[in-house]
Structure 1
Amino acid sequence: MVTLADRPNTALLVIDVQNGVLAAAYDRDKVVANIASLVERARRARVAVMWVQHHDRGLLSGSPEWELVPELVPAAGEPVVHKSYPDAFEGTELEAQLAARGIGQLVVTGAQTDQCIRSTLHGAITRGYDATLVSDAHTTEDLTSFGAPPPRQVIAHTNLYWSSHTAPGRKGGTARTAEVMFGARPS
């Protein structure tokens, strides 16, 4: 259903799995393990794995907090897109990287659910991509002191509304880690 011409391929998008972002994340170890499983399966199926790494005043480039968690390491040749806005498309080369690989379908994982995950999902649909959120492979920290619901509810709500998200010629949706089936890209 993707509206982008000549974009039959899929990419696994791994967003902001950084030490500082995941330090206090809800269910961190389970989410990281699920993402690691997806990365391994995508690589075996020759599906592009695209990494996104955030930086701003609170997450300085090159700092230990900015580094990706040690359990998740990009392989040689896997692009790492650096961003400073919640939407991974804004002010980055993500669109160019996806276009060069003929990618029109995104499988989205990472953090934080209520910030960069939601923004990037909406940015993808707006730009013509189909975007599947892996329901048990994204997380957020506890922001209840700022009036947000508890992390478990933030994640559940995001999964609920994204499970049936659509736009003309595009679709969202959710799948659990075990349900994600990567097909090999054409050579």
Structure 2
Amino acid sequence: MTTLEDRPGTALLVVDVQNDVVGEAPRRDEVVSAIAGLVDRARSEGVPVVWVQHSDEGMPEGSDAWRIVDQLRPASGEPVVQKRYGDSFEATDLEQVLAERRVGRVVVTGAETDACIRSTIHGAFTRGYDVTLVADAHTAGDKSAWGAPPVADVVAHTNLYWQFQSAPGRTAEVAAAADVTLGSGERDAPAAAR
């Protein structure tokens, strides 16, 4: 499993599900609904939910465009990591937030598939985390006008290649929201097995 020592826990990452990021995204409502279901499950199972929120010149902090969508709200005490780069770990306190919670596996949801999601899953994996990408809980804006494939193809390709990602001592997997196992590690093992 994870190459990070003494990190048996799992966290749900909700990356950039903000008004401007997902406003026109295909399958927006289905993706947000899948994420909301995972957030509810994580909370009920005692799995940390970590929110990631991007800002830049076009989406400044505090603006309506920057706000997390109304259907999703961080609960009191849930960390919200502010970022300015694609990889949610780059120049943020995400690693510290996860270390404090003894997290060695991240379950990744959000937007945009072809940018911040890809950067974050690779960033987590190269830092030693096990990474689960939730197949039906990420999306992107349509960039076909600039030569990119349709969003459905971008999502399908990312799901396809991530399930074959490998490295020593780490796991990469893709699972539908309904099939994601959130609990992990010694927290879920019977006391006698620890």
User: TM-score normalized by structure 1?
Assistant: 0.98
Q: Give me the whole-angstrom Cα distance separating, in 2, the residues matched to 1:98 and 1:183.
A: 15
Residue 192 of structure 2 is matched in structure 1 by: none
Specify the alignment match of 1:65 in structure 2.
Answer: 65
The question of whether the paired residues in 2 share the 8 Å contact of 1:132 and 1:175 is answered with: yes
Deviation at 1:151, TM superposition (A): 0.2
Equivalent position of 1:76 in the other structure: 76
**How far off is 1:21 after superposition?**
0.3
Query: Which residue of structure 2 aligns with residue 55 of structure 1?
Result: 55
Match of 2:18 in 1: 18
Aligned residue for 1:160, secondary structure, equals: helix
Counterpart of 1:6 in structure 2 is: 6
Aligned to 2:86: 86
Percent identity between matched residues is 58
Q: Residue 44 in 1 paired to residue 44 in 2? A: yes
Q: Which amino acid aligns with 2:119?
A: S
Query: Match of 1:65, as an amino acid?
Result: A
Q: Distance in 2 between matches of 1:132 and 1:10?
A: 10
Over the residues paired in the alignment, what is the CA RMSD in angstroms? 1.2
CA contact (8 A) 1:124 1:131 kept: yes
* Higher mean C-alpha deviation, range 160-169 or range 113-122: 160-169
SS at match of 1:53: strand
Secondary structure at the aligned position of 2:34 is classed as helix
**Does the CA contact (< 8 Å) of 2:131 and 2:173 recur in 1?**
yes
- CA distance in 2 between counterparts of 1:139 and 1:60 reads 21
Contact 1:45 1:184 in 2 (8 A): no
Task: Give me the TM-score of the superposition, normalised by structure 2.
Answer: 0.94
Indicate if the aligned counterparts of 2:47 and 2:183 stay in contact, CA closer than 8 A.
Answer: yes
Contact 2:8–2:184 (8 Å) recurs in 1: no
- Report deviation, 1:181: 2.0
**2:147 alignment counterpart:** 147
The whole-number CA distance in structure 2 between the counterparts of 1:175 and 1:164 is 13
Unaligned runs of 5+ in 2: 189-194
Offset of residue 178 of structure 1: 0.5
Aligned counterpart, 2:138? 138
Partner of 2:191: none
Unaligned ranges ≥5, structure 1: none
